Amino acid sequence: MIEKEKLVKVFGAANVSYERATLDEYSRDMSFVNTVRPVCVVKPANAGDIQKIVNLANETLTPLVPVSSGRPHFRGDTVPGTGGAVIVDLSGMKKIILVDRARRVAMVEPGVTFEELIPAVEKEGLRLNMPLLPRKSKTVIGSILEREPVIMPRYQWDISDPLACVEVIFGSGDEFRTGQAAGPGTIDEQWAVGGVQKAPYGPGTASWHRLIQGAQGTMGIVTWASMRCEILPSLEDPFVVGSSNLDTLLELSSWLIRLRMVNECFILNNTNLAAIFTKKWPKDYQNLKDALPTWTLFYTVAGYEYFPEERVSSHIKGITDITQRLGVEAVKAAGGVSTNEMLKVVQRPSGEPYWKLRYKGACQDIFFLTINDKLGGQIGVMNDVVEKAGYPTSDMGVYIQPIVQGTGCHCEFNLFYDPGNPSELNRVRELSALAVKNLMAKGAFFSRPYGESAGMIINRDAATVAVLKKLKKIFDPNNVMNPGKVCF
C-alpha cells in the first residue's frame, strides 16, 4: 500500500481523499459488478503527477484504477476489481490543449467533457463525431478510449476513429506518445515547425493506440489525446424513415453510407426514441411511443462551403431513388417530433436527467458488434430471453449504429428498470447474463467486454487472450493497472 504521506506529498492534501463517503462513491456503479471500496482517491493535475503515482504503485504493488468521467458509471470498469486500490481521478485535468481548423484536429486532457469541447471546436468551424447522447459527465477521452460507436459512420474510416494520438504512462511507469505525436521532438517543437498530432499509426509499424483503446485502463493512464474533427456543415437537412420492417431500414442505411450521402445515421426503436424525446414525464411517454413507428432511421444530409444547397439537393435526389425502390418514404417528423429538433438534440450530450435514466431510474446496456444479415436473428434471441424472464419486450430500447463506413453495426439493447425494486433489478441482472450467452451463440461479437460477463466473453477466444497476456506483461509487468478487468 502507498503511504498516505507520500500521496499527500505528490498531490497535496486537498487532492487525496480517504473519506468513507467519497470512497463509497467509487466502490460501485450502476452495473452488477461487486462492490469493492478503494483505499483512497487521488486527483492528479498533470502527467508528472500521473507518472509519480504509477511509479509508487509499482514500488508497493498497489492497484490503480483510472477514472476520467463523472458519475454515474454504468459498466463496472471503474469499480476496483480487487482490494487495496487507489482511484486515479483525472476529471480535474480539463485543458483543451489545441483546436486546429486547417488540420481538423483537437487535443484535450482526460477530464474534458463533450459539453466543454463542443463549443471550443465549433468556434473554429469544426465538430466532433459524437457517440449517441453521452451523459453530461462523460469525458471525450473516456468515450474514445472505449471505442464508443459514433453517429456519423461515414467519417469513421477505422474503428479506432476519431482517436488520433495519445500520451500514455504505461503501467511500467514509462511515458510513451503514439502516432505522429511520438516525435521527433517535444509537442512544442512539433507545433513550432507546423506539425500537429494527427496521424494515428506508428511510431514504427505498430499501431500502439489500438493497444490502449479498449483496455479499460489496464495498460496505462492516458494524459492527453488528440482526435480528428470534421468540418461544421453550413447547411443540414435531417430526415427520418419509419418502418415496421427493420431489414428495409438496414438496407437503406447501408446504401446511404456506402454512397456517402449522409452524416448522422442510426436506427432506434420506438422505446428509445420516446425515452429521448418525451418532454413531460411520465404522462407523454406512452403516447409518444405509441405514435412512433416500430423502427426509425434518422439521417442528415449536409452541405459545406461550396454550393451547399446544390449538394444537399443532389443527395436528396439520390436518396429518393433508393427510398422509392425500397417502398419507404423520408419525412421531416416522427410522432410529432421534428427532425430539426432531433438533430439539435443528438449533436449534444444528453440533457439532465441522462436519457437512459428518465424512464425508470436505471438502465442496463447489452451491446455488441454484428453484421446486418445476423441482426434480425439476434434481436429475436434477445426478445426470447426478455420474454422468458418476464421483462416486457416493449420496454426494451434498441439502438442500431452502423459502424466503420458500413462494414458492421453496433447493436445495443437498453433494459430500463427501477433500481429501488429488487425484483426488477434481479430480473434484469439474471436476464443480462443469459442474453450475453445466447447472443454469443448467435454470432454476436462482444468487442468491449465489461462487468460480470467479461470473463465469459473473452474466454471464447483463448488464442487472443494468450497474446494479450504477453503484451500486458510488457507494458504493465506488475499488473498494477486496473487488475481484474478484461482478462488481466
Compute the distance between CA of residue 377 and CA of residue 370 in angstroms, rounded to an integer.
Answer: 11
Shortest separation between residue 78's beta carbon and another protein, angstroms:
16
User: Among residue numbers 244 through 273, which ones bind another protein (CB under 8 A)?
Assistant: 254, 258-261
Measure the CA dihedral 207/209/211/215, to 10°.
Answer: -160
Shortest separation between residue 430's beta carbon and another protein, angstroms:
23
Choose among 268, 54, 262: nearest CA to 153: 262
Nearer to another protein among residue 94 and residue 191 (C-beta): 191
| Candidate residues 19, 24, 59, 189; the one interacting with another protein per rule CB under 8 A | 189
Q: Is residue 377 a contact residue for another protein (CB under 8 A)?
A: no
Beta strands (DSSP E) in 381-449 are 396-403, 408-417
Nearer to another protein among residue 19 and residue 189 (C-beta): 189
User: What DSSP element (H or E) covers 119?
Assistant: helix 114-122
Nearer to another protein among residue 30 and residue 126 (C-beta): 126
Q: Is residue 473 a contact residue for another protein (CB under 8 A)?
A: yes
DSSP letters spanning 31-54: SSSPP---SEEE---SHHHHHHHH
Shortest separation between residue 425's beta carbon and another protein, angstroms:
26
Shortest separation between residue 306's beta carbon and another protein, angstroms:
4
Binding footprint of another protein, residue count (CB under 8 A): 98
User: Among residue numbers 159 through 188, which ones bind another protein (CB under 8 A)?
Assistant: 159-160, 174-178, 180, 182-185
Q: Is residue 373 a contact residue for another protein (CB under 8 A)?
A: yes
User: Among residue numbers 198 through 217, which ones bind another protein (CB under 8 A)?
Assistant: 198-199, 201-216
Q: x/- contact string, 411-440, with another protein (CB under 8 A)? A: -----------------------------x
Compute the distance between CA of residue 459 and CA of residue 453 in angstroms, rounded to an integer.
Answer: 10
Helices 270-277 and 283-291: angle between axes, nearest 10 degrees = 140
CB 148 within 8 A of CB 139: no
- For 27, 32, 357, 452, the CA distances from 425, given in Å and listed in that order, are 19, 9, 14, 15
Q: Is residue 135 a contact residue for another protein (CB under 8 A)?
A: no
Q: Is residue 405 a contact residue for another protein (CB under 8 A)?
A: yes
Compute the distance between CA of residue 44 and CA of residue 51 in angstroms, rounded to an integer.
Answer: 10
| Candidate residues 338, 383, 447, 479; the one interacting with another protein per rule CB under 8 A | 447
Shortest separation between residue 397's beta carbon and another protein, angstroms:
23
Q: Is residue 52 a contact residue for another protein (CB under 8 A)?
A: no
464, with CB counted inside 10 A (0-12, 13-18, 19+), is exposed
